[in-house]
Amino acid sequence: MKNLHQRLLAVLGRQLTNIFRQQVHWTEQEAFLDNCARNGLSERQVEVVRLLLQGRTYAQIAAELFISRKTVDAHVQHVYAKLRVRNKLELLHKLCK
């Protein structure tokens, strides 16, 4: 009976940890989207930025969104100008704080 109780507590602990992680992740996503909206990014710019911050290359982003690599580059340059940032690190800091 004691073993069963310990196992149930362990399972419950893992489930609560997963729920907490999902809530934190959701909060981060909400903050990201709020920062994007506050800075006037279009839906397409948000899609491009999200993929860029996930580590995708311009070519991968272009393939995933069915646009050209030059269009990805244009979106990124417009986002950098809107946010007054010079690189991905500054972009990450500005949108994910």
Q: Which CATH code is given to the segment(s) 2-95? A: 1.10.10.10
pLDDT in tens, 13-34: 565 455 545 554 667 788 888 8
Mean pLDDT on 79-97: 90
Tens of pLDDT, residue by residue over 36-81, are 999 999 999 999 999 998 889 999 999 999 999 999 999 999 999 9
User: b or e along 13-36 (b: 16 or more beta carbons within 10 Å of the residue's beta carbon)?
Assistant: eeeeeeeeeeeeeeeeeeebeebb
Per-residue confidence (pLDDT) for residue 20, from 0 to 100: 45
- Using alpha carbons, select from 8, 81, 60 the residue that is nearest to residue 50: 60
Question: What is the biggest distance separating any 2 CA atoms in the chain, rounded to whole angstroms?
Answer: 64
Query: What residues have CB less than 8 Å from 44, skipping those under 6 apart?
Result: 65, 75
Task: With 0.75 as the threshold, say if the pTM is over it.
Answer: no
pLDDT greater than 60 at residue 12: no
